[in-house]
Amino acid sequence: MANDKPVQVKAWNEGWLQVKVPLPFSLRYVNSYVLPEPAGGYTVVDPGLHTPEAVAAWESAFEQEGIAFTDIKRIVVTHQHPDHYGLAGLFQERSGAPVWMTEASHSYAVRMWGEHRELGDKLVALFDIHGMPDELVEGVADNLESFLPCVSPQPSVTYMKAGDPFTFGGIEWATIDAPGHALGQILFYDPVSRTLLCGDQVMPDITPNVSLVPDELDDPLDAFMQSLELLSMLDVSMAFPGHRNPFPKFTERCIELKEHHERRLDSIVDLLNEQDRQPATGFELCELLFGTRHRENKHNLRFAMAETLAHLAYLVKRGRIAQVERDGKLFYSRADRQDGNVAY
C-alpha cells in the first residue's frame, strides 16, 4: 500500500530508529522506537494505532531501512492507549513476536475493547452524572466504539512488571511504574547511558492527559504529581517520549508539568470562589476551563472532561472544594458552601 507522504524516520545512536507513525487526530503522530538486538533482529516499542495510513508508513519505513516484519523479535507497549497499543496485534501476526506490557495496562485494554467490554459504558455514565448533555454523551460513546478496529486484532500478551529489570536493545533497563496518565504505564531507564523511554508521562511541549477513569485510581492527578516528583530525580541525558521529539532537559520539564497542574487547580478554586457563583457540574467547569470548541470533536471532549474530573477529585480530597449531589447529578462549589448532601 502506497503512502501519500514520506514516513519520517530518524536514526539515533546505537542504531536506534525513531519512526513517526501517523495518527488521524491532532497529535499527528506517535513515536515508535526500533532498537536493534545484539543477536539480530529488532525490538519495536509502541507500534502505533491500527489504520491503513499507519500500516503503509511502517511498510515504507521497513522497506527504507531493509527490515522485514519477521525481523521483529519483541514488541513492547509502554501503556494501553490505542495510539500506542493498536498495532501490537497486527505486528504479532506478521512477526510471531511476543507482545510485552503490564497486567494493569492489559486489563484496561480488555475492559475497553475486549469481548465483554464495559469500560466505555462506565466512562460515559460518569460523564452523564457530572452533567454532560445527553447528545454529547452519545457522541463520546460513538467515538469510543470507533476505536475498536484501530486496536484489532488483539494481541496475546506476556506480562512485565515494574521494578523488574527488562532487557532489549542490548540494554538491561530499569523499569519504572508511572501512573497518572495511564494506570500500568511503564518507563525504561538506562543509568549507564542516562537514557529514558518515557512513554506519555513526560513530553517536551505538550501536557499529558490525566483522566479520572472508572474502576482505576480515585486520585490520578495525585499519582501523576508524585510520579513527576520521583522522575525528576533521575539523571537523564536524553528522554524519548511517545509524542513530539526526544529532549534533554527532563528534570526541568517534570517541574514545568507540576507547575502547570498546580495553576489549573488554582484556576478551578478561583472559578468556584467567584462571588455569587452557583454550584457547577463537572461539565460546566470543563467548558469554563477548555471552552466550548470540543463539542465539535468528541475525541478531544472526552479527554477534556476526564481531565477536569481528575482535577476536581484532587481538590475535593484535599478539602479545597466541595462536591454535592442534587437530583442525581454531582455539583461542585467552594469549600464553605455545601448545598445538598456531600458525596465524596
The DSSP element (H or E) to which 134 belongs, if any, is: helix 134-146
| Whole-number pLDDT of residue 342 | 39
The ranges of the chain with pLDDT < 70 are 1-6, 337-344
Query: Is the overall model pTM greater than 0.85, yes or no?
Result: yes
Cβ atoms 337, 322 nearer than 8 A: yes
Helix and strand tally (H, E) in the chain?
10, 16
| Whole-number pLDDT of residue 170 | 97
Is the preceding peptide bond at 153 cis, omega within 30 degrees of 0?
yes
| Whole-number pLDDT of residue 336 | 82
Would you state the cell numbers that stand for residue 297, as one nine-digit string? 470533536
Is the preceding peptide bond at 52 cis, omega within 30 degrees of 0?
no
Q: Which residues pair with 333 in a beta bridge?
A: 322
| Whole-number pLDDT of residue 116 | 84
| Whole-number pLDDT of residue 277 | 85
pLDDT tens string 150-166:
999 999 999 999 999 99
Three state DSSP letters for 260-285:
HHHHHHHHHHHHHHCCCCCCEEHHHH
The DSSP element (H or E) to which 39 belongs, if any, is: none
Name the 3-class secondary structure at 117: coil
DSSP state letter for 206: S
| Whole-number pLDDT of residue 343 | 37
| Whole-number pLDDT of residue 86 | 98
